[in-house]
A and B are shown apart, each in its own frame.
Chain A
Amino acid sequence: DAKTTQPTSMDCAEGRAANLPCNHSTISGNEYVYWYRQIHSQGPQYIIHGLKNNETNEMASLIITEDRKSSTLILPHATLRDTAVYYCIVRVGDAGGTSYGKLTFGQGTILTVHP
Chain B
Amino acid sequence: KAGVTQTPRYLIKTRGQQVTLSCSPISGHRSVSWYQQTPGQGLQFLFEYFSETQRNKGNFPGRFSGRQFSNSRSEMNVSTLELGDSALYLCASSLAPGIHGYTFGSGTRLTVV
Contact = CB atoms under 8 A, between A and B. Distances in A.
Given A43-B92, A106-B42, A100 B105 contact: no
B2 interface: no
Contacts of A21: none
Interface in B68-98: 90, 92, 94, 96-98
Interface residues on chain A, size class: 20 to 34
A43 B107 contact: yes
Contacts of B102: 46, 101, 103
Contacts, number: 74
Main secondary structure of the interface of A (DSSP, over half): loop
A101 B48 contact: yes
A102 B101 CA distance: 12
Given A97-B98, A103-B45, 4 more contacts: A44-B90, A46-B101, A93-B98, A103-B92
Interface of A: 32, 34, 41-46, 49, 87, 92-108
